[in-house]
Structure 1
Amino acid sequence: MAARRADLRSALPGLRRTLRYLRPHLRPERWLLAGGFGCLLAEVAFRLIEPWPLKYVIDAVIEPGAADRSGIVALLLLCAVALVAAAGLRALSAYLMTVCFALAGTRAMTAVRADVFAHVQRLSLRFHGSTKTGDLLTRLVGDVGRLQEVAVTAALPLLGNVVALLGMTAVMVVLDWRLALIVVAAFPVFVLASSRSSRKITSAARLQRRREGELAGTAGETLGAITVVQAYSLERILQRVFGADNQRALRDGVKASRLAAGLERKTDLLVGVATAAVLLVGGTRVLDGALTPGELVVFVSYLKGAFKPMRDLAKYTGRLAKAAASGERIVDLLETVPDITDAPHARPAPRFRGELRFEQVDLDYGTGERALRDVSLRIPAGCRVGLVGPSGSGKSTLAALVLRLYDPTGGAVTIDGHDLRDLTLASVRGQVAVVLQESVLFATSVRENIRYGRPDATDAEVEAAARVAHADEFVRRLEYGYDTVLGERGTGLSGGQRQRVAVARAVLRDARIVVLDEAATGLDRESSAAVRDAIRALTRGRTTLVISHVPEEVADCDVVVRLEAGRVVEYRPRALPRRGETVDARRR
């Protein structure tokens, strides 16, 4: 036990943090774990029994005056049966132990992966803007998988060997305490030899996992922009970047493996020296009559079994260190606090009419430079407002505040008089529909892509929304109609078709507030006309924010608001809103 504590000293903080998080996930599997530990104890008991038939055979065969051949043959037969039974029961116990622990670990890690995925989706745009997607994928898939694999292949066998070590040490003390002292004396030597190596292995493993995350981030970024990469012939440049990251990950991985291999060989040498000492001293004890030859054989068998935890610890130190590093990366991610959350007093939003107010709104992304500066606007329900201005002026940021993708650092954003921070996120976002310039479609059927607007919608409602968005006709011409599965990000549809599917999704949402962020920009004339018709059907009678660089896109808006450097610099009404409502804006 002392050796194990010393070897894992540098990894223990990470393992403790991981275990604290895993404990609630392991609690539902307590019966499987209890069964696994019961099988572990049974496996250790049969391991302790296994050498004893050999002891009786040796003592009977070489005992002076052993002439009763039939009695010896009967003893040999009995010992052979006992040995087979002990080995068989030990194998069965080990099998059941592995199955119980593997099933419990797999279930727990499945729950952990689900928690990590749910948590990542809750993290704010600030977090996702500063974190590589590839690194998140490595944590979600690679780190969770490594933690699960190491728990089954390294940690649990090591636990069994440690329990066996305690039992074997107790039996060795009973057989001959002098020989037992030789075995016990080897443990502190192993501690001194391994403590420095284990710290270096843990440090190298942490660095390796970080390098692998960076490597995945580079690969994900490149593959996500493969069109640009090929169009600009960036393959060689990005290959050099990836190659440099790959070489760094290789160096760190080789270093960890080299250190672990060195620790294994040191342990083998220590075991050899201890075994030689036991044979030397034990042989003299047999000659003196203090031990029988069979007892010496049992002692040597236990000696090898007692040193097995040290061999395993040396063998698995690298794996355990990597598991500790993976666990730390998972827990670090889970301990990242989302910027945008429901307040303790938050309540579900009522059905919105759609009146928007921005009251002296400031927004700082955390970089020290404000994205919005003292913006005040009132947008009546049902009003169509065009937001124009140069890139980086704050148009999309203003719309993001309506969805509570950000919270203002100063001032307030209200809908129908309700401060959005007093309402639950789901009830606010559920009443706002968004159509972006680059429509995000998922690698599932057209029907499911539209249904994401309202997951409980029927097939008939999905198709009705598609008709409103002028998508029904081309969807029915696809090979499998609404059940046609799209490629990643909607591959297989033209830009205009993707936009109309996105509009259908927004129509199905039936939201009182609609955000159009360059929704028809970049399309050819025919596609643009079809998308504009779909958008008109979507936004009729709804509060609409139209973000565009193109003057024609905001020509039919009730109000055009121009922003520059995060400020409202121009407010231009086209006509008075319907039903006698007034539109106003205060420029600061």
Structure 2
Amino acid sequence: MARRPTGLRDSAPALRRTLRALRPQVRRERKLLLAGSAALLLEVAMRLLEPWPLKYVVDAVAVATGAQLGVAQPAGIGTVILVAALALVAFTALRALASYLMTVCFALAGNRVLTRVRADMYAHLNRLSLAFHDRARTGDLVTRVTGDVGRLQEVAVTAALPLVGNVVTLVGMLVVVVVLDWQLALVVLLVFPVFALTSVRLTRRISGVARKQRVAEGAIASVATESLGAMKVVQAYSLEGPLQRAFGGSNEKSLKDGVKAKKLAAGLERKTDVLVGLATGLVLYVGATRVVAGALTPGELVVFLTYLKTAFKPMRDVAKYTGRIARAAASGERVVDLLQTRPDLEDRSWARAAPRLRGHVELRDVTVAYEPGHPVLRDVSFTVHPGQRVGVVGPSGSGKSSLVSLLSRLRDPDRGQVLLDGHDVRDLTIASVRPQVAVVLQESVLFATTVRENIAFGAPGATDEQVERAARLAGAHDFVTRLPDGYDTVVGERGTTLSGGQRQRIAIARAAVRDAPVVVLDEALTGLDQDTEDEVVAALARLTDGRTTFVVTHDVESVRDADVVLRVEAGRLVAAGPPEQVLGPAPRRLSAVPTPPAEPATEPVDEPREAPRGRRARA
């Protein structure tokens, strides 16, 4: 495992990589960044000038005090004091204004950049294939989009920008003190190595503890995401206790590491305060002796002491911000890693938009593997004519859903061809193929928005009339109009405020508004009660009328009326043809045989039972 960055030096490669990836976005804010840089330089200049009015006042007062002892008092000392006081107010006001402008410009630029980065990440996640999402953890992806980008925003505003300003200020102060008195400047410079040794050691410990805290926070997010997303299972199996213990363990670990990091940071700041005191005392002693020797004025000594105190604040901030920047570097790498993940499915350079399809489907020697060397489909070939109804049957894990996912380019074959109306789907753009395939899944996932918008998601831009027409076709209009706000009723997350049958009919309406020539029903009747199933079957029949339809199911009786049945086992197409040929004869319905009016039998005679009728989803 690669070593995680612990300090500024270790973080530099990650920061450079992040900046390179974000450069196009940063370039769009160059005007704001230039304005912020100008404000930064003005703020640094005002910081450097602030002690000088005090220097002139101290020197003037010293001269005046000498006049009282018999030394001639210079004329205009009152004017000097007044001008110095006004200059100090002006410098302070200008520094405050420059600091405000710098913060606003940099914060606005940084937030604009990272807001666009977050939007790009979300759009990129939506483009990545199902194979990627099958491997990734949802909680981790959410943490990258929210937490990692948020950390970059926070650090850019609260750490990186102040750090740049403090470093520039520190360099400017060192230049000034060297010009004033290089011997006293050497005394100041001797303190820096001591501070560096102390801060670097503690900063690494702070960063290490902070990384452990981040791992614990990631575990907290994972447990919370998984449990909250499966609350029915949690409560049905009484998993509250075990999950609470798992959450509590990570929570306690985060608390302990957080407290430890705070203790180390506080210790570093207090050690810095002591070091500042020692350095100030040393400069005061050496500087005073040079003032007595006439090599330095009292006012210049005051400037030295002021600069020394001011200079150590940037140094303390450097240590404080190092841990934040190290963590931001790790977050930046996670963001860049995601943005640079290439989608498994991309339009070829010569891909063209698909015309309106009729629904002719053909697979030629198709092989699909999620992992190299482990194909889920092997050399599958078949042809379906427009308007035919195709049943796809087989045991769980045989590759049925993988087969129909090829039609809408949710996956592409590793070998072979998938043809729609004679066009290889890889020669067509993804954006033009997917709208021509409507899918109804076993789990009808709805979004936490209005019923109208949930239906309109099937065809972005659909009018209210189209939405209502699709709802009527799906048999959903009557119950939707009985909802509190009708079509504007907001459903719960994943549609939990609706019954299973209601969710399924809204999902059918979402497929109907698409008006697609190819329809895929992937276990669309599983888990429904008989009354609800009858309603959904009728809705599916209306949806699929005249369209090429693939019905994926475990229930072979529900595809007895299909035109073609495909049986898939272990990733191979083992049979294809009419239902009677693939499924065998349908169970014969038996009539009840009455007991003849004869003498009572000594043993009870069981009447023959009526064979169960197959569920017919003419959809």
Q: 1:260 to 1:14 in 2, by over 3 A?
A: farther
2:149 to 144, 148, 161: 144
- Aligned pair 1:134/2:136, yes or no? no
Q: Which deviates more, 337-346 or 181-190?
A: 181-190
How is 1:280-291 mapped onto 2 (pairs within 5 angstroms)? 280-291=285-296
1:421 to 426, 433, 438: 426
Equivalent residue, structure 2, for 1:44 = 44
Q: What is the distance in 2 between the residues matched to 1:246 and 1:406? A: 39
8 A contact 1:205–1:252 mirrored in 2: yes
- Aligned pair 1:499/2:501, yes or no? no
One-letter code aligned to 2:570: A
Q: 1:124 to 1:246 in 2, by over 3 A?
A: farther
Equivalent residue, structure 1, for 2:388 = 383
Equivalent residue, structure 1, for 2:357 = 352
8 A contact 1:432–1:513 mirrored in 2: yes
Q: How far apart are 1:35 and its partner, in Å? A: 1.1
How is 1:52-201 mapped onto 2 (pairs within 5 angstroms)? 52-63=52-63, 64-65=66-67, 71-201=76-206
Q: What is the distance in 1 between the residues matched to 2:414 and 2:255? A: 44
- Aligned pair 1:573/2:575, yes or no? no
Q: Which deviates more, 173-182 or 412-421?
A: 412-421
Secondary structure of the structure 1 residue equivalent to 2:406:
helix
Q: How far apart are 1:226 and its partner, in Å? A: 0.5
8 A contact 2:363–2:418 mirrored in 1: yes
8 A contact 1:261–1:315 mirrored in 2: no
Secondary structure of the structure 2 residue equivalent to 1:97:
helix
Q: Percent identity among equivalent residues?
A: 63
8 A contact 2:200–2:319 mirrored in 1: no
Q: 1:444 to 1:265 in 2, by over 3 A?
A: same
Q: Which deviates more, 497-506 or 357-366?
A: 357-366
Q: How far apart are 1:266 and its partner, in Å? A: 4.1
Q: How far apart are 1:204 and its partner, in Å? A: 4.2
Q: How far apart are 1:384 and its partner, in Å? A: 0.6
Q: How far apart are 1:242 and its partner, in Å? A: 2.1
8 A contact 1:447–1:482 mirrored in 2: yes
8 A contact 2:6–2:208 mirrored in 1: no
Q: Deviations over 1:342-390 (max 9, x none)?
A: 1222222222111112212222111643211221111112111111111
Q: What is the distance in 1 between the residues matched to 2:293 and 2:369? A: 85
8 A contact 2:366–2:416 mirrored in 1: yes
Equivalent residue, structure 1, for 2:611 = none
Q: 1:40 to 1:260 in 2, by over 3 A?
A: same
Equivalent residue, structure 2, for 1:267 = 272
Equivalent residue, structure 2, for 1:34 = 34
Q: How far apart are 1:207 and its partner, in Å? A: 4.4
Secondary structure of the structure 1 residue equivalent to 2:10:
coil
How is 1:197-346 mapped onto 2 (pairs within 5 angstroms)? 197-346=202-351
Equivalent residue, structure 2, for 1:373 = 378
Q: How far apart are 1:103 and its partner, in Å? A: 1.0
- For structure 1, list consecutive stretches of 5 or more residues without a partner in the other structure: 577-588
Q: What is the distance in 1 between the residues matched to 2:37 and 2:94? A: 15
Q: How far apart are 1:553 and its partner, in Å? A: 2.4
Secondary structure of the structure 2 residue equivalent to 1:39:
helix
Equivalent residue, structure 2, for 1:579 = none
8 A contact 1:434–1:515 mirrored in 2: yes
Q: 1:56 to 1:74 in 2, by over 3 A?
A: same
Q: How far apart are 1:139 and its partner, in Å? A: 1.0
Q: How far apart are 1:200 and its partner, in Å? A: 4.4
Structure whose CA Rg is larger = 2
8 A contact 1:135–1:214 mirrored in 2: no
1:436 to 438, 441, 444: 441
Q: How far apart are 1:392 and its partner, in Å? A: 0.6
Secondary structure of the structure 2 residue equivalent to 1:359:
strand
Q: Which deviates more, 150-159 or 330-339?
A: 330-339
- For structure 2, list consecutive stretches of 5 or more residues without a partner in the other structure: 582-619
One-letter code aligned to 1:43: E
Q: Which deviates more, 18-27 or 291-300?
A: 18-27
How is 1:517-536 mapped onto 2 (pairs within 5 angstroms)? 517-536=522-541
8 A contact 2:7–2:326 mirrored in 1: no
Q: What is the distance in 2 between the residues matched to 1:59 and 1:156? A: 36
State how many pairs are aligned: 572
Q: How far apart are 1:6 and its partner, in Å? A: 11
Q: What is the distance in 2 between the residues matched to 1:325 and 1:253? A: 18
Secondary structure of the structure 2 residue equivalent to 1:516:
strand
Q: What is the distance in 2 between the residues matched to 1:212 and 1:407? A: 37
Q: How far apart are 1:203 and its partner, in Å? A: 4.4
Q: 1:217 to 1:397 in 2, by over 3 A?
A: same
Q: What is the distance in 2 between the residues matched to 1:402 and 1:262? A: 62
Q: Which deviates more, 208-217 or 436-445?
A: 208-217
- Aligned pair 1:411/2:416, yes or no? yes
Q: What is the distance in 2 between the residues matched to 1:425 and 1:115? A: 19
Q: Which deviates more, 205-214 or 221-230?
A: 205-214
Q: What is the distance in 2 between the residues matched to 1:533 and 1:135? A: 41
8 A contact 1:39–1:96 mirrored in 2: yes
One-letter code aligned to 1:494: S
Q: How far apart are 1:73 and its partner, in Å? A: 3.6
Q: How far apart are 1:410 and its partner, in Å? A: 2.2
8 A contact 1:256–1:318 mirrored in 2: no
Q: How far apart are 1:202 and its partner, in Å? A: 4.0
Q: What is the distance in 2 between the residues matched to 1:356 and 1:288? A: 99
8 A contact 2:6–2:207 mirrored in 1: no
Equivalent residue, structure 2, for 1:16 = 16
Q: How far apart are 1:220 and its partner, in Å? A: 0.6
8 A contact 2:114–2:153 mirrored in 1: yes
Q: How far apart are 1:215 and its partner, in Å? A: 2.5
Q: How far apart are 1:185 and its partner, in Å? A: 3.1
Q: What is the distance in 2 between the residues matched to 1:246 and 1:282? A: 53
Q: What is the distance in 2 between the residues matched to 1:408 and 1:257? A: 53
Q: What is the distance in 1 between the residues matched to 2:219 and 2:360? A: 45
Q: How far apart are 1:555 and its partner, in Å? A: 2.3
Q: Deviations over 1:232-270 (max 9, x none)?
A: 101111122223333444454445444444443443343
Q: What is the distance in 2 between the residues matched to 1:190 and 1:7? A: 16
Q: 1:7 to 1:178 in 2, by over 3 A?
A: farther
8 A contact 2:390–2:564 mirrored in 1: yes
- Aligned pair 1:489/2:494, yes or no? yes
Q: Deviations over 1:532-551 (max 9, x none)?
A: 11111111111111011123
Q: What is the distance in 2 between the residues matched to 1:183 and 1:380? A: 87
One-letter code aligned to 1:553: S
Q: Deviations over 1:273-325 (max 9, x none)?
A: 33222112111111101011111000111112222221101122221122112
Q: Deviations over 1:395-453 (max 9, x none)?
A: 11111111222222222222122222222111111111000111111111111111111
1:452 to 447, 450, 457: 457
Q: Which deviates more, 252-261 or 48-57?
A: 252-261
Q: Which deviates more, 282-291 or 84-93?
A: 84-93
Q: Which deviates more, 391-400 or 72-81?
A: 72-81
Q: What is the distance in 2 between the residues matched to 1:385 and 1:140? A: 41
8 A contact 1:558–1:575 mirrored in 2: no
One-letter code aligned to 1:382: G
One-letter code aligned to 1:391: S
Secondary structure of the structure 1 residue equivalent to 2:458:
coil
Q: What is the distance in 2 between the residues matched to 1:218 and 1:298? A: 56
Q: How far apart are 1:120 and its partner, in Å? A: 1.1
TM-score of the two chains, using structure 2 as the length reference: 0.88
